[in-house]
Structure 1
Amino acid sequence: MEMIIFTGIPASGKSSFYKELFFNSHLRISMDLLNTRNKENRLLQYGFETQSKMVIDNTNVTRESRKKYIESAKRNKYEIIGYFFESSVPDCLERNRNRKDAINEIGIKAKYKDLEKPGFEEGFDKLFNVKIVNNTFEISPYEI
């Protein structure tokens, strides 16, 4: 089984990427949908119990925020795959303006300031970069 962990600031394309590539195959764990950590923990537990493939579709901008998912996945013998969404603040602000559920500009800038790029030393088995080029997702091997 696999757990995919997204890392990226708000409006960097994470949820759209999920819908395009993983909607039909992976359980989506998203605080945007669940609203509370209790609901998130219950859905994660369900995913592990049913041995479901899962995507963690949160910003996960710090190593600390990714740690609990990685530790849980390791305990449950899941392969851990990370996707890092490379996006500039101006690009995210522009995409945010076009969202129906737009968030505060300060929130985007704060997440960018807190951003810690993922690394293999955290426990990832595979890492990829994701960029949006001409409204298309481009995936490449992760480079530190």
Structure 2
Amino acid sequence: MQAVIFCGIQGSGKSTFYLERFFDTHLRINLDMLRTRHRERRLLAACIDARQRFVIDNTNPTVEERARYIAPALAAGFEVTGYFFATDPRAAFERNQQRSGRVAVPAAGVFGTYKRLQPPTPDEGFARIDRVELVPPRGFVVTPMRPPA
């Protein structure tokens, strides 16, 4: 059983990465789609109860925000893997501006998330953390993150 937690600002490629790497194997839990924390909690609980692999496709910028997913997953015996989406905030904002309608996040949202961004660490409960960089045209480079020595 695997729980995957994405961590990165808007426009860093998280949802595209999910589609390319996890669409066929993991259920996607995304607050933008579910619209309320209540629905998100219910879907998370259903995945845990059913022992269903899942991906949390949200920004998850802080330790506290990631803990709401990590703690119940670990308690249920899931292995928790983290993906840190490292990106230049200006480039992410430009990609975000190409979105239309409700999904386009204002500059204050993107740069505000960037200011709060805390890279994930093994101390949070991650069995593995990988760094993901978006490399045009629409490719990803994934490398293991190592804890500071």
Q: TM exceeds 0.5?
A: yes
Task: Give 3-state SS (helix, strand or coil) of 1:64's partner.
Answer: helix
Q: Distance in 1 between matches of 2:110 and 2:3?
A: 25
Asked whether 1:139 is paired with 2:139, we answer no
Q: What one-letter code is carried by the residue in structure 2 that aligns with 1:61?
A: P
User: Counterpart of 2:9?
Assistant: 9
Deviates more, 1:91-100 or 1:117-126: 91-100
The offset of 1:143, in angstroms, is: 3.4
Q: Distance in 2 between matches of 1:50 and 1:23?
A: 18
Asked whether 1:23 is paired with 2:17, we answer no
Of all paired residues, the percent bearing the same amino acid is: 42
Computed over aligned residues only, the root mean square deviation of the Cα atoms, in angstroms, reads 0.9
Show the 5 A alignment for 1:22-61: 22-61=22-61
Relative to the length of structure 1, the TM-score reads 0.97
Show the 5 A alignment for 1:75-86: 75-86=75-86
Unaligned runs of 5+ in 2: none
Task: Give 3-state SS (helix, strand or coil) of 1:103's partner.
Answer: coil
Q: Distance in 1 between matches of 2:89 and 2:114?
A: 7
The offset of 1:50, in angstroms, is: 1.2
The offset of 1:116, in angstroms, is: 0.6
Unaligned runs of 5+ in 1: none
Q: Distance in 1 between matches of 2:19 and 2:135?
A: 17
The offset of 1:61, in angstroms, is: 0.1
Relative to the length of structure 2, the TM-score reads 0.94
User: Counterpart of 1:123?
Assistant: 125
Q: Distance in 2 between matches of 1:109 and 1:87?
A: 12
Task: Give 3-state SS (helix, strand or coil) of 1:127's partner.
Answer: strand
The offset of 1:58, in angstroms, is: 0.5
